[in-house]
Amino acid sequence: MATTTPATTATKYWSGGKSPFNVEYGKLMMWYFLMSDAFTFGAFLISYGTTRFATNGWPNPNHVFNSFPGIEGNLPLLFVSLMTFILILSSVTMVLAVHEGHNMNKKGVAKYLVLTIIGGLAFLSCQALEWTHLYHEGAWWGRNPFPNADGTTSTTNFSNFFFTITGFHGFHVFSGVIINIIMLIMTLKNKFEQRGHYLMIEKAGLYWHFVDLVWVFVFTCFYLV
Amino acid sequence: MEHTTTGVVAHEHHEHIVGGGRKEIYRVTIILSVLTIIELALGFSMYYITATLTLHIIKGIILILMLAKAFYIVGYFMHLRHELRNMIMTVVVPLLLFVWFIIAFLADGDSFNNLKNRYDFYYKEHMSQPMKKQEPKEEPTKNKGLD
């Protein structure tokens, strides 16, 4: 980096002994891992977009995703709305957990981590219900019973992409829940009190927010547009 | 918000803490919920609309709302907003590749569509057949992958 700039900001961060971005190494690396994961999900979603643009007809999501477990009748988008709100709320509880960590409040961190884990498990259950319902309607990798919006024969790409991408995302939610459980155990065992900081919770928080962010994109691409 | 690029005061033994307080968290939560509700309402409204141009406009609005949500989640929940500007750039600038990525691949998809419709007569005829009612376990179509 050029050092001809005035010494104030440049040497304060770039003259060694401290992180130039004023952030912990693990946190920065988590950001870069999330960027790589973002490109992976982006690749999946963009290939979905390409396939859709390349195909003449496509099923109307309002007609495919219109069931709610336990309630009879035509309720388009209701179940996925529930799933989206569950995940957003779990993200909020995660932010609150990180916030409690800044205040070195072990009980608060544990409480909000538990709520986040419950939210994550609720989301996974909902996703499992959605998959089961669609499977019983005849959809699976290689099988697509839903006609296009105009009634013509539709391609199996619809269900292939749906199950692959939501499955990949669900796998991330699952691993996020596992990570949060480990964070909870570490918190309860006073690991972070010993260390003097809750930065690990922040990193787990970044991963969890990333999972929520991906859901925002996946849900929009499959259910809304 | 206590942090700017030039105004950092004495550090503690670990790295400084970024981010706002509880009020900001609740404020952003409300914003995200409102954006989601609007998106869902628009998505639901498409159930009743058949005009293609209107549909495209609604989809465009939904995409913009989605980007706004992404901005709020990354900026406030992940605290990227409050980090040093150079760090924000190391994250955001590579992601700008997505702009090229999306435009190029969607244009490609469109081109595939035009080419298939023009040169593959079987495709065009096959894709305009009305769908027969399927048994749940039978294979409804013989397509495998892109065709």
Write down the CATH superfamily of domain A23-52+81-224: Cytochrome c oxidase, subunit III, four-helix bundle (1.20.120.80)
Establish if B79 belongs to a structural domain: yes
What tokens does A67 get? 């069931």
Query: Do B38 and B14 share a structural domain?
Result: yes
User: Which residues make Cβ contacts (< 8 Å) with residue A20, sequence separation at least 6?
Assistant: A13, A14, B86
pLDDT at B133: 60
Residue among A77, A152, A156 whose CB faces B131 most closely: A152
In sequence order, which ranges of A55-156 are alpha helices (DSSP H)? 61-64, 78-102, 106-136
Is B13 inside a domain boundary? yes
Is there a single domain that holds both residue B48 and residue B104? Answer: no
Asked if B80 and B115 sit in the same domain, the reply is: no
What ranges do the domains of chain A cover?
23-52+81-224
Give the single-character DSSP code of B15: P
- Together in a domain, B5 and B47: yes
Query: How many domains does chain B divide into?
Result: 2
Residue B8 neighbours by CB under 8 Å, 6+ apart:
A12, A22, B16
User: Residue B101: its chain A contacts at CB < 8 A?
Assistant: 42, 46
Residues of B in contact with A18 (CB under 8 A): 11
- Which range, A160-169, B53-62, B122-131, is most confident? A160-169
* B-chain residues near A47 (CB < 8 A): 105
What is the pLDDT, as a whole number, of residue B145? Answer: 57
Is B11 found in the same domain as B74? yes
Q: With 70 as the cut, is the pLDDT of residue A29 above it?
A: yes
Q: Is the CB of B8 less than 8 angstroms away from the CB of A144?
A: no
The predicted model scores a pTM of 0.84
Let me know if A77 is exposed, middle or buried by CB neighbors in 10 A (0-12, 13-18, 19+): buried
Question: Looking at this predicted complex, what is its ipTM?
Answer: 0.78
Domain co-membership, B48 together with B7: yes
Q: Is A209's CB within 8 Å of B69's CB?
A: no
Best of A1, A11, A21 to substitute, by most chain B Cβ atoms within 10 angstroms, is A21
User: Based on the domain organization, do B80 and B103 belong to the same domain?
Assistant: no
Residue B90 lies in a domain: no
Pair B66, B117 in one domain: no
Structural domain boundaries, residue B109? 96-127
- Mean pLDDT for A49-57 is 90
In angstroms, the CA A42 to CA A36 distance is 10
User: Which of B47, B86, B102 comes nearest A46 by C-beta?
Assistant: B102
Nearest to A209 by CA among A25, A22, A23, A34: A34
Q: CA B32 to CA B73: how far, in whole Å?
A: 8
Helix, strand, or coil here: A140? strand
> pLDDT tens digits for A82-106?
999 999 999 999 999 999 999 999 9
Question: Of the ranges A142-156, B35-49, B121-135, which one carries the lowest mean pLDDT score?
Answer: B121-135
Q: What digits encode the pLDDT tens for the residues B43-82?
A: 888 888 878 888 888 888 888 888 888 888 888 888 888 8
Q: Which of B14, B15, B45 is the best substitution to test chain A (most A C-beta atoms within 10 A)?
A: B15
